[in-house]
Amino acid sequence: MRPSKRAPDQLRAVTLETGVNRYAEGSCLIGFGHTKVLVTASIEESIPGWMRGKGQGWVTAEYGMLPRATHTRGRREAAAGKQTGRTQEIQRLIGRSLRAVVDLKALGERQITLDCDVVQADGGTRTAAITGAWVALRLATQYLLDEGVLKADPIIGQVAAVSCGVFNNVPVLDLDYEEDSNAEADSNFVLTEGGDIVEIQATGEKRGFTRAEFESLYGLAEKGIGELFAFQKAAVGK
Amino acid sequence: MRPSKRAPDQLRAVTLETGVNRYAEGSCLIGFGHTKVLVTASIEESIPGWMRGKGQGWVTAEYGMLPRATHTRGRREAAAGKQTGRTQEIQRLIGRSLRAVVDLKALGERQITLDCDVVQADGGTRTAAITGAWVALRLATQYLLDEGVLKADPIIGQVAAVSCGVFNNVPVLDLDYEEDSNAEADSNFVLTEGGDIVEIQATGEKRGFTRAEFESLYGLAEKGIGELFAFQKAAVGK
Amino acid sequence: MRPSKRAPDQLRAVTLETGVNRYAEGSCLIGFGHTKVLVTASIEESIPGWMRGKGQGWVTAEYGMLPRATHTRGRREAAAGKQTGRTQEIQRLIGRSLRAVVDLKALGERQITLDCDVVQADGGTRTAAITGAWVALRLATQYLLDEGVLKADPIIGQVAAVSCGVFNNVPVLDLDYEEDSNAEADSNFVLTEGGDIVEIQATGEKRGFTRAEFESLYGLAEKGIGELFAFQKAAVGK
Amino acid sequence: MRPSKRAPDQLRAVTLETGVNRYAEGSCLIGFGHTKVLVTASIEESIPGWMRGKGQGWVTAEYGMLPRATHTRGRREAAAGKQTGRTQEIQRLIGRSLRAVVDLKALGERQITLDCDVVQADGGTRTAAITGAWVALRLATQYLLDEGVLKADPIIGQVAAVSCGVFNNVPVLDLDYEEDSNAEADSNFVLTEGGDIVEIQATGEKRGFTRAEFESLYGLAEKGIGELFAFQKAAVGK
Amino acid sequence: MRPSKRAPDQLRAVTLETGVNRYAEGSCLIGFGHTKVLVTASIEESIPGWMRGKGQGWVTAEYGMLPRATHTRGRREAAAGKQTGRTQEIQRLIGRSLRAVVDLKALGERQITLDCDVVQADGGTRTAAITGAWVALRLATQYLLDEGVLKADPIIGQVAAVSCGVFNNVPVLDLDYEEDSNAEADSNFVLTEGGDIVEIQATGEKRGFTRAEFESLYGLAEKGIGELFAFQKAAVGK
Amino acid sequence: MRPSKRAPDQLRAVTLETGVNRYAEGSCLIGFGHTKVLVTASIEESIPGWMRGKGQGWVTAEYGMLPRATHTRGRREAAAGKQTGRTQEIQRLIGRSLRAVVDLKALGERQITLDCDVVQADGGTRTAAITGAWVALRLATQYLLDEGVLKADPIIGQVAAVSCGVFNNVPVLDLDYEEDSNAEADSNFVLTEGGDIVEIQATGEKRGFTRAEFESLYGLAEKGIGELFAFQKAAVGK
């Protein structure tokens, strides 16, 4: 039995509110249960130095967690003077995941930054961030199309993410914090709507886990991400 | 005429939603018009090393702005590796303002940290933060009283803050961003319900300003802060 | 009775020695009693990147305290690897105060940096720094005029600063360290010769303070700053 | 055809020299073709503060690359003043991988640090590091057993790692740099001798990749890691 | 001919004013010509963690240069966020030089920090700093003796320093900045009154230099340092 | 008697293996007994900003020590976030020493960086680094000559370094760690083949030392460095 009483293949309640920031070209507040991530997409008409002159754009992400997003207050990274390894790992993952569905040449020499700030954390913040970031990115590129800045759509696919794990020896979908801290194995799947793998990260936490268990997790992820694609589509109004 | 059509002595719409974070002992989302600040109060049963053994507690504040809180995206301080001088100046002000209405001995050897994160900025973020921080602090100390951890209330007064300025040569209350960037003079008043001064900061921006103008700003601040006290009281249910 | 036996409206002995650095375009050593601040004005024929192309110059300040300027040795900021929030707050204040009396267009595309290093601290270091910085700035711009680099004087006024506070319930002028650490209220006034406000910072330390007390402090500041203007004039030889 | 003429399921030449550092309790120089990683295991009779009092030890890893390990010189991280996100991500992975085969309680309150320094890089540095780190860790714990410090062996399994990828649409084992920079998909597998998954990281680089391709990579990894286990055993003399 | 018209074996004018800081246990302002260094000795009744429990004290030094100590303004190290390699090298040299004449056991478990801040630089700042630091240290230990804190004098000798160099192929004593920037060879000698070597640093700048030249520099140093010992003695009143 | 049974004027076994890095334009692994330093020379076709437009090149060095190069593990500088003062001092010394034998104009507008990474440390790491760096530099410039990039040889001399010290009151050559930690005096000599001084650093450790002792050390250094020149010549094949 899961602490939340959910069925093993059941997502938490997904909420997706768009237009939550009056300045950003795209924004949403995504909830996976009690996990809440505020995502903004910011368009800048310049790109990092190492990208210049290649006739293409860049999509990148930054991730942060408000100090009291968690049960006990964590240290503010800005005050500590650096981002933790965990933060950097997550923001690199978000950036890679989004770039997988963007035609950077079609984007032109501009950069879109996805800021993913966790307002409340109950497990699955990186998968919620990726799922919400696609929505914010979709809205921001739609803005560029609507304004006539872009003629062709640089978004070439849909991407979403979910975590799965082995909890009490049962493969389950979309771990919350209580499950995550006690899982035997933990994994994150980032898949495209076409079913392609963008990223898989699977880690044995308390013990290694078997290939059979891994295949079960993969199946759960395909089911859950399928449902997330529908939430994303509804949010962007298509 | 103010860009927002407000009367010179008119606050923006004030919104104050409490209980917005399920983990924090006190929390609120405060809005001064489009300015939105998320405040959490976190109780920690320990105090900084330099405070120990004095039989008293500490109240401190941290301030941050989400990168896209503003019209154009600002650099994330955690990525830059340090907090700006402006950030430090503001969080020091918030901390001093709150400590002015707390009996640190009555609080006991524990620390309350007010995290003030600006979700959207349209001028007046520091005054909104102070006003909201009092609410979060009030709720967190109420929690300690309700739990029986504290017998006596360490909150000895109410504090709120507002900005005033000279815009187009007219003294006006509660500047928004457009006014703030063009004001001849800018000031922040932090007052207690008893009418005492906790902090005044007044700066001539485009030109020095006269003592008469300053006195007008002071009067506007007293009026506006009086209204903020009522919003605070309503929010904490008294 | 003040610890120094001064009358409530009496400044400490003011000393102002110019030309104390053989390389700087302007320099002075200013003393407010035992507080001693060494100020140099350095002209650089370039301006920060964000200022370029606007046809105007910039005036900025940096502030530091030698480790043993104080009763007990403080940590060297260069060794600590960062400037404290207090340092940044003060140097921002000094910069703003000086820019209030400079016509940046008339200065041309060059920068003047005021380095204010506290050699000995006995309260009022920021107000002494501002008062001395005006002298160093005046000398440096005079140098530019004398050299024919500038045709018109970019200095459009005189600025000086003093602290006032409520000590033992009596409003007093120009707090020394002993008064400062025990004051009920503390304030810094930065005024122009024309009587305009450049900056007011007032803080209730032990208790909030009343508007009536604040008005008394304001009056003391006007008196004290008037005397400082005379010292400045004498120092720059006019 | 692979640039190195290898068969798709063929590892590069593996070299494993132990005892390369006269001070470390365990050490080896591992080569995967031209990739060379120097690994030392250092035992310290204390553990990080957050681990104390739990009656268990800790195994951690640090990773670095000498500036000229690569074709063009990279910036020295110590000079840059921080470790890159990539470095932190890799050293976290190495640490997790090793802890998966260590009984931390059996280790007692001591820490073993695996320093993995890349002397020459030609792809696969993190998998070579993990594979070599197990050898160094095995030697260091053997030292503790031989010295009688430990009675029971804290090593509960064998772990090794290899990369696989899709290169020119063909799944191949153990990518070198040329393949890695041009692969359609890249993955790292960390498996135990029992066949359990410790960690899988799979990333679509140029395009997403299919579940069928992923399964092929998995099969290649199982074959390659099986061979690496034999090299490890030979190196530790069992 | 030296730019300053000095004879090859002639020091610049040496000035040594003591008691220049009212808080420090020992202080002086030392001048070697236009080079001016403010030195304070601060006694702290605690020692660094790694020194504790050994029943002995520590003497250390910190060195800094005010931004406009030089012809053109240099960057403030506190603002840059770190001390340069040159600064660290110099402060390590000063600390070693002073410790050479202190019986750390006799000092007891306390630390004396010599802060050497260059107010004006015209070559030879490190040698002036060492020479002045001995004076400040002597005064601070005298204070401990006078107060009865120490019964026995921990100062076991006198130390001073001077630079020498080969300028226009002539060995000269006590280089000023103009000579220093054009010297073929540059050296710093730190000697005790007994004639022992505490430290020699000799560097060929434009060309290597011969052993014969080196011996000449050594002779000049012995002469110059002999004169500095007399200045030190006069300053400490013996 | 030396701990290593060596005669007072006897070097440790010197090993010098070239071509140890397949990417670097020059490389060697140099051993002074158990001290092992890996040196690479990297040519970059650009120079630091402050050097540009002078029609000359630059030679610089960076130095690092692997964490377990020493008896007990030291902190990784990249993880600590900064290089120690010792590291900076050493890398500045290496750079100066090499530049003493390079005609920077003949090198053209390119930079050669010598990375000296200590793999194992048993005293004398800086002198081994200098001696090895000359070999790597010689090979890298030979590469430029062989490729026809340079017409004239920018290397104008040979440079090597050795440490000497007073151990048990006997002057000895090439200190190992055990001697170094107990020496009364320690020195490093960097000399050219022509016998010129590039750098001398001599420090009294436990006591000051006499000029006569210093002269003995100098003689030992001349003998030892003479032998090192032969090892260097053999290594570069001349």
Each residue's pLDDT expressed in tens, for chain B with a length of 238 residues: 899 999 999 999 999 999 999 999 999 999 999 999 999 999 999 898 888 888 999 999 999 999 999 999 999 999 998 899 999 999 999 999 999 999 999 999 999 999 999 999 999 999 999 999 999 999 999 999 999 999 999 999 999 999 999 999 999 999 999 999 999 999 999 999 988 999 999 998 777 789 999 999 999 999 999 999 999 999 999 6
User: C39 to chain E: nearest residue by CA?
Assistant: E68
The residue with tokens 């001919």 is E1
C partners (3+ CB pairs within 8 A) are B, E
Question: Which whole number is the average pLDDT over E190-210?
Answer: 90
Name the nearest CA neighbour of D44 among D23, D18, D28: D23
Distance CA A217, CA A172 (A): 7
As to burial, measured by CB atoms within 10 angstroms (0-12 exposed, 13-18 middle, 19+ buried), residue A226 is: middle
Q: Is E131 marked as binding a ligand?
A: no
Six-digit token pair at B166? 């000279």
The pLDDT, as a whole number, for residue E49 is 85
**Over 90: is that where the pLDDT of E53 sits?**
no
Query: Could you say which of A89, A157, A198 has the minimum Cβ distance to residue D88?
Result: A89
Q: Three-state SS for F19?
A: coil
Residue A21 C-alpha, separation from nearest chain B C-alpha, in angstroms: 7
Confirm if B76 and A88 have CB atoms less than 8 A apart.
no
Name the nearest CA neighbour of A43 among A145, A157, A158, A137: A137
Residue D91 C-alpha, separation from nearest chain A C-alpha, in angstroms: 9
Distance CA B165, CA B124 (A): 11
Q: Which residues of A touch D200 (CB under 8 A)?
A: 187, 200-202, 214
Query: For chain E, what percent of residues have pLDDT higher than 70?
Result: 100
Residue A103 C-alpha, separation from nearest chain D C-alpha, in angstroms: 11
Question: Which whole number is the average pLDDT over F49-57?
Answer: 89
User: F207 to chain E: nearest residue by CA?
Assistant: E100
Inter-chain CB proximity F67 and D66 less than 8 Å: no
Confidence class for position A238, pLDDT limits 50, 70, 90 = low
Query: Could you say which of E64, E79, E81 has the minimum Cβ distance to residue C76?
Result: E64
Round to the nearest angstrom and report the end-to-end CA distance of chain D: 36
CA dist list (Å): C38 to C77, C126, E199: 17, 12, 33
The pLDDT, as a whole number, for residue C210 is 92
Q: Three-state SS for A108?
A: coil
A partners (3+ CB pairs within 8 A) are B, D
User: C214 to chain B: nearest residue by CA?
Assistant: B197
Give the start-to-end residue ranges of the domains of chain E: 14-236
What's the DSSP call for residue E121? -
F partners (3+ CB pairs within 8 A) are D, E
Q: What is the CATH number of domain E14-236?
A: 3.30.230.70
What's the DSSP call for residue B12? P
DSSP H or E stretch at residue A216: helix A211-236
Inter-chain CB proximity D38 and F66 less than 8 Å: yes
The pLDDT, as a whole number, for residue D17 is 98
Six-digit token pair at D178? 């040329």
Q: Three-state SS for E15?
A: strand
Distance CA C139, CA C41 (A): 8
What's the DSSP call for residue D149? S
Six-digit token pair at E47? 């020692």
What's the DSSP call for residue F6? -
Reported as a single tens digit per residue, the pLDDT across B79-104 is: 998 899 999 999 999 999 999 999 99
Collect contacts of E175-178 with beta carbons under 8 A, ≥24 apart.
Answer: E175/E123, E175/E124, E176/E3, E176/E4, E176/E12, E176/E33, E176/E34, E176/E35, E176/E122, E176/E123, E176/E124, E177/E71, E177/E121, E177/E122, E177/E123, E178/E3, E178/E4, E178/E123
The residue with tokens 């249960």 is A33
Distance CA F186, CA F214 (A): 10
Question: Which whole number is the average pLDDT over D119-140?
Answer: 98
Residues 6+ positions from A35 with CB-CB distance below 8 Å: A12, A118, A120, A121, A122, A123, A124, A125, A128, A176
Residue F161 C-alpha, separation from nearest chain D C-alpha, in angstroms: 24
Confirm if E174 and E164 have CB atoms less than 8 A apart.
yes
Question: Which whole number is the average pLDDT over C64-85?
Answer: 95
Inter-chain CB proximity A42 and B67 less than 8 Å: yes
Confidence class for position A1, pLDDT limits 50, 70, 90 = confident
**Over 80: is that where the pLDDT of E207 sits?**
no
Strand order across the beta sheet in which B111-120 lies = B14-18, B26-32, B35-44, B111-120, B58-65
The pLDDT, as a whole number, for residue D238 is 66
The pLDDT, as a whole number, for residue C75 is 95
Measured CB to CB, residues of chain B less than 8 Å from chain A are 21-24, 27, 34, 38, 40, 42, 44, 62, 64, 66-73, 76-83, 87, 113, 115, 117, 119-120
Distance CA C187, CA D79 (A): 44
Residue B22 C-alpha, separation from nearest chain C C-alpha, in angstroms: 32
Residue C3, number of CB atoms within 10 A of its CB = 11
Test the C interface: residue of E34, E62, E68, E118 with most C CBs within 10 Å? E68
Confidence class for position F205, pLDDT limits 50, 70, 90 = confident
Binding residues of B for phosphate: 86, 124-126
Q: Which residues of D touch F66 (CB under 8 A)?
A: 38, 40, 115, 117
Q: Is A141 marked as binding a ligand?
A: no
The pLDDT, as a whole number, for residue E120 is 98
E partners (3+ CB pairs within 8 A) are C, F
Question: Which whole number is the average pLDDT over D211-217?
Answer: 95
Q: Three-state SS for F39?
A: strand
The residue with tokens 């140098």 is C143
Q: Three-state SS for D167?
A: strand
Measured CB to CB, residues of chain A less than 8 Å from chain D are 82, 85-86, 88-89, 91-92, 96, 100, 157, 185, 187, 191-192, 194-204, 207-211, 214, 218
Confidence class for position F238, pLDDT limits 50, 70, 90 = low
**Over 80: is that where the pLDDT of E224 sits?**
yes
- Listed range (B188-192, F80-84, F227-231) with the worst mean pLDDT: F80-84
- Listed range (B50-54, B151-155, D31-35, F42-46) with the worst mean pLDDT: B50-54
Residue F108 C-alpha, separation from nearest chain D C-alpha, in angstroms: 19
DSSP H or E stretch at residue C143: helix C125-146
The pLDDT, as a whole number, for residue C64 is 98
Pairing of strands C26-32, D197-204: unpaired
Distance CA C14, CA C34 (A): 10
Question: In chain D, how many H helices and how many E strands?
Answer: 6, 9
Question: Which whole number is the average pLDDT over E190-208?
Answer: 90
Name the nearest CA neighbour of A11 among A27, A28, A29, A31: A31
Distance CA F77, CA D80 (A): 10
Inter-chain CB proximity A64 and B76 less than 8 Å: yes
The pLDDT, as a whole number, for residue E91 is 96
Q: Is F126 marked as binding a ligand?
A: yes
Phi, psi for residue D105 in degrees, rounded to 5: -70, -40
Inter-chain CB proximity C89 and B85 less than 8 Å: yes
Q: Which residues of D touch F24 (CB under 8 A)?
A: 68
**Over 70: is that where the pLDDT of C37 sits?**
yes
Six-digit token pair at D134? 């197990």
**Over 80: is that where the pLDDT of D192 sits?**
yes
Q: Which residues of F touch D70 (CB under 8 A)?
A: 23
Summarize chain A as % helix, strand, coil (round to 5): 35, 30, 35
B partners (3+ CB pairs within 8 A) are A, C
Quote the Cα angle for D112-D113-D118, to 5°: 145
Residue C29 C-alpha, separation from nearest chain B C-alpha, in angstroms: 26
The pLDDT, as a whole number, for residue F207 is 76
Query: Could you say which of D62, D78, D113 has the minimum Cβ distance to residue F83?
Result: D78
What's the DSSP call for residue E152? S
The pLDDT, as a whole number, for residue B238 is 67
Name the nearest CA neighbour of A126 among A57, A54, A62, A46: A62
Inter-chain CB proximity B42 and A113 less than 8 Å: no
Helix residue ranges per DSSP H, B81-210:
85-99, 104-107, 125-146, 177-182
The pLDDT, as a whole number, for residue E101 is 95
Inter-chain CB proximity C92 and B85 less than 8 Å: yes
Question: Which whole number is the average pLDDT over C45-54?
Answer: 87
**Over 70: is that where the pLDDT of E15 sits?**
yes
Inter-chain CB proximity B204 and C196 less than 8 Å: yes
Reported as a single tens digit per residue, the pLDDT across C111-123 is: 999 999 999 999 9
Confirm if B179 and B2 have CB atoms less than 8 A apart.
yes
Name the nearest CA neighbour of E199 among E188, E208, E209, E210: E188
The residue with tokens 């939340």 is A4
Q: Which residues of C touch E40 (CB under 8 A)?
A: 66-68
The pLDDT, as a whole number, for residue B1 is 85
Inter-chain CB proximity D195 and A210 less than 8 Å: yes
Inter-chain CB proximity E201 and F200 less than 8 Å: yes
Distance CA F115, CA F44 (A): 13
Distance CA B41, CA B96 (A): 15
Distance CA D161, CA D143 (A): 24
Reported as a single tens digit per residue, the pLDDT across C125-161 is: 999 999 999 999 999 999 999 999 999 999 999 999 9
Residue C208 C-alpha, separation from nearest chain E C-alpha, in angstroms: 32
Question: In chain B, how many H helices and how many E strands?
Answer: 6, 9
Distance CA B159, CA B136 (A): 12
Q: Which residues of C touch E115 (CB under 8 A)?
A: 66-68, 73, 76
Residue D22 C-alpha, separation from nearest chain A C-alpha, in angstroms: 31
Q: What is the pTM (predicted TM-score) of this model? A: 0.90
Query: Could you say which of D89, D203, D211 has the minimum Cβ distance to residue A85?
Result: D89
Question: Which whole number is the average pLDDT over A188-208?
Answer: 91
Confirm if A154 and A109 have CB atoms less than 8 A apart.
no
Inter-chain CB proximity F40 and D66 less than 8 Å: yes
Residue B220 exposure: Cα atoms within 13 Å on the Cβ side: 25
DSSP H or E stretch at residue A214: helix A211-236
Q: Indicate the average pLDDT of chain E.
A: 95
